[in-house]
Amino acid sequence: MDAPREGRCACGSIRYRLTSDPLFVHCCHCLNCQRQTGSAFVVNLLIETDRLEVLTGAPQAVDVPRDDGSTQRIYRCPDCQVALFSEYGRPEVRFVRGGTLDDPRGVTPDVHIFTKSKVDWVALPDSAPAFDVYYDRHEFWPAASLERLEAALAS
Ligand SMILES: [Zn+2]
Ligand SMILES: [Zn+2]
């Protein structure tokens, strides 16, 4: 890793830093992500919660309904309400929204998921695998990331 990645909300109350590279990077085309972001997809950097350092401010957790009846916890700036990261069931792992990084171009998705609901005008690159729904992380994550995840879930 080069310099640690940092990001912020729109008003700047919340700043954060990733203290290492992410475990894996998702580009998700599901309808929940489209609705939550108001966009065509979301870029999520998966990283252990203890490697996501909040430098200023206190993100506010908001539980947002999903189409399957579950909720997803989204962490927002209490002032400008921009969504910075979220949680899918496991508090040990955060999904950091790539667009809030200081340099969003500094990350490239490792996989594209839920392409069954991808908008037609988004063309996917050949460089990353794409899945109608989801994938098996044991097949696609680097061994080091699998080990890191196991350690995080065991702690
Ligand atoms: Zn803000
Ligand atoms: Zn999604």
> What local confidence, expressed as pLDDT, does residue 2 receive?
63
Encoding tokens for residue 102?
Answer: 């200081």
Task: Give the list of residues 6+ apart from residue 39 with CB closer than 8 angstroms, or none.
Answer: none
> What local confidence, expressed as pLDDT, does residue 46 receive?
98
Ligand 2 centroid distance, CA of 24 (Å)? 15
- Give the pLDDT of the chain (155 residues) as one tens digit per residue: 567 899 999 999 999 999 999 999 999 999 999 999 999 999 999 999 999 999 999 999 999 999 999 999 999 999 999 999 999 889 999 999 999 999 999 999 999 999 999 999 999 999 999 999 999 999 999 999 999 999 999 98
> What local confidence, expressed as pLDDT, does residue 3 receive?
73
Q: What angle do CA 39, 45, 47 make, to 5 degrees?
A: 145
Angstrom CA distances, 52 to 41, 47, 67, 68, 93, stand at: 22, 7, 28, 28, 9
Residue ranges near ligand 2 (ion) with Cβ within 5 Å: 28, 30, 33
